[in-house]
Copies of this chain bind each other. A is one copy, B any other.
Amino acid sequence: MPCAIRIVVQAEPFDTAAEIATIRNADANVGAVVSFSGICRDESGRLAALELEHYPGMAEAEIGRIAHEAVQRWSVDALTVIHRHGKIVPGDDIVLVLAASSHRQAAFDAASFLMDFLKTRAPFWKKEHLANGSAGDWVDAREADDAARERWKRDTEK
């Protein structure tokens, strides 16, 4: 069955409720919707904001490649990925991933897979702005994120 894929990269905030309302009506057979919201934290007051740089064009293309891989692997009816760039303050959304399916496990797996690959393959970079006014540094990539991606490798790829 064809899967509706919606990919958005934008600076503006997005409406999570409206996105969920749309995807749950993608198909009368949707029985499970999993959503993931990635939210800017203040890290116990340390951060004033995160600034997200991205590679326009490749960001959308790479998210599209990741989404198509998810569709190959799980029986999902619809996927939505929205990723913001620019300055984002604590409490605001950075990323939204939605997966709709007939059954819950496919929706959980597809959403979790999308997040693990977004973290390590989508061309976005976070720079910190500190609450004390000083310039922050670029966020380091986490080895835990690479490990999270590795667990999705198929046996033939290991």
A interface residue numbers (CB < 8 A to B) = 16-17, 20, 24-25, 28-45, 90-91, 102, 104-105, 107-108, 111-112, 115, 148
A158 CB to nearest B CB, Å: 20
Given contacts A34-B34, A36-B33, contact A25 B108 (CB under 8 A): no
Give Cα A36–Cα B90 distance, bound, in whole angstroms: 24
**A20 touches which of B29, B37, B102, B148 (Cβ 8 Å):** B37
Copies of this chain present: 2
B24 near A31 with CB under 8 A, answer no
**Are the C-beta atoms of A90 and B20 separated by less than 8 Å?**
no
CA–CA, A17 to B19, complex, Å? 10
* Closest residue on chain B to residue A33 by CB atoms: B37
CA of A41 to CA of B131, assembled, Å = 48
